[in-house]
Structure 1
Amino acid sequence: MPKRSYDQYCGLARALDVIGGRWSLLIVRELLVGPARYGELQAGLPGIATNLLAERLRELEETGIVQRTLAAEGNGVVYMLTPWGSELRGAVGALVNWSTPLMISGPRADDSFRGHWLVVALNSLLADRRSDTPTTVGVAVDDEVVSVRIDEKGTHVELCRGEEPATVLRGEAAVVLGMASGMLTVDQAVAASDLRGKKKDLVSAFARG
């Protein structure tokens, strides 16, 4: 039983017992992008105290959501989601989609943003996209390039760690997210950003019918 519990025999209450703590779902968001070292997690969670991050990671490990393993390179330790923890992708995606009305006003003056957050956001906002003609484009915020591929199986978003796609839109987070959510048209997004490549590729990936 978690230290703090709603003491209700309800699936939602039980879920909130283990992931309802402050920062817990944001740690899950970071690990949905991929395994991460402690320092990488802290960098991706601006505002979290290091002792609180350690506490939340310990709680998530104890409940079977997060596990530690040796890094592929070096002797360090990385944190990753367990198979059960990875099943939170759908719940996180549903919250991202639900949040659209809250995002319309744009970032507040004290809001931070990290480019890799686009991986989870775009996977969620574009989850219903399909294309018989595969299209791959890049979007970049603060020099962090994210690759978006739409094909017959769906949407695939990941950090671009190698050669960038031929078409890349560089712009503000609010513009990229607005285009992905359908609040902005591709033309509006292009007008407010820097496009390298072909606008028709962006249309294929982002335009709503």
Structure 2
Amino acid sequence: MRSYGQYCGLARSLEVVGDRWNLLIVRQLLIAPARYRDLIDGLPGIATNLLADRLRDLETSGVIERRLASAGSVVEYALTPWGAELRRPIESLIRWSTPLMLRGPEGDSFRPEWLALAVPALLDTRVEVRPSAAIGLEIGGPPLQLRSTPSGFAVGPHDGRALDATVRADPACILGLAAGALTLSDARALGLVEIDGDESVVRTVLAA
């Protein structure tokens, strides 16, 4: 492991997770434990040999672990309890990134599963009143759902339960609404979003 040679918590943290791709690997594993092939698919642009090196380094450092998946003898990667503590700093970086996200994807890759971490991170610090709500998100691809409870928000595949409303928009619009950088009224006026169902529920969550 490369060392900065500094007795500083930030320096020592960066020695573990500061290399290129490391935090994105952690992002994928915060969404869910994953097999090697799942990580390749979820990290567009990473070379297979580089992923293998990064996984080995993170495992050696105690951030991730290998284990048998519940279905048979397939090996999957998961965060250790210590590795899972990276959720809060990663969510803080997602919130910090809002000015960088305003210009849109500009041709960059996007996977809907990334909203599972980003949208709750953006909403959790803005929405003070959290009524029970279920909002479908149609962003192109398999439908997602945003559920809110008094304890927090979660985004994942639609599980078939009834929805209060459905929002159709591109990912940049959803992120802008969740961050508070785009108002729902402006998004409607610009034709960036369509809403079916109870719009008041959408406003309670996304227009706080």
Using structure 1 for the length normalisation, give the TM-score.
Answer: 0.91
Cα-to-partner distance string for 1:51-88 (whole Å, 9 max, x where unaligned): 11111011111101111111111321111111100000
Deviation for aligned residue 1:170? 2.5
Which of 97, 121, 125 aligns to 2:122? It is: 125
Deviation for aligned residue 1:148? 2.0
Aligned AA (1:200): S
Cα-to-partner distance string for 1:5-29 (whole Å, 9 max, x where unaligned): 1111000000000000000000001
**Residues 1:130 and 1:163: Cα distance change in structure 2 (over 3 Å):** farther
Question: Once superposed, what is the RMSD of the aligned Cα atoms?
Answer: 1.6
Classify the secondary structure of the residue corresponding to 1:116.
helix
Structure 1: tracts of 5 or more residues without a match: none
Alpha-carbon distance between aligned partners in 1 of 2:162 and 2:91, rounded to the nearest angstrom: 25
Match of 2:154 in 1: 157
Deviation for aligned residue 1:173? 1.0
Alpha-carbon distance between aligned partners in 1 of 2:27 and 2:83, rounded to the nearest angstrom: 11
Alpha-carbon distance between aligned partners in 2 of 1:30 and 1:90, rounded to the nearest angstrom: 14
Alpha-carbon distance between aligned partners in 2 of 1:60 and 1:194, rounded to the nearest angstrom: 42
Q: Does 1:31 align with 2:29?
A: yes
Deviation for aligned residue 1:169? 1.4
Identity among equivalent positions (%) equals 44
Cα-to-partner distance string for 1:19-60 (whole Å, 9 max, x where unaligned): 000000000010110111111111110000011111101111
Aligned AA (1:18): V
**Residues 1:136 and 1:161: Cα distance change in structure 2 (over 3 Å):** closer
Structure 2: tracts of 5 or more residues without a match: none
**Residues 1:114 and 1:165: Cα distance change in structure 2 (over 3 Å):** farther
Pairing of 1:94-173 with structure 2 (within 5 A)? 94-109=92-107, 111-128=108-125, 129-131=127-129, 133-153=131-151, 155-160=152-157, 162-163=159-160, 165-166=162-163, 167-173=165-171
* 4+ long deviations beyond 4 Å: none
Cα-to-partner distance string for 1:153-172 (whole Å, 9 max, x where unaligned): 2x221312521552221221
Query: How many aligned residue pairs are there?
Result: 204
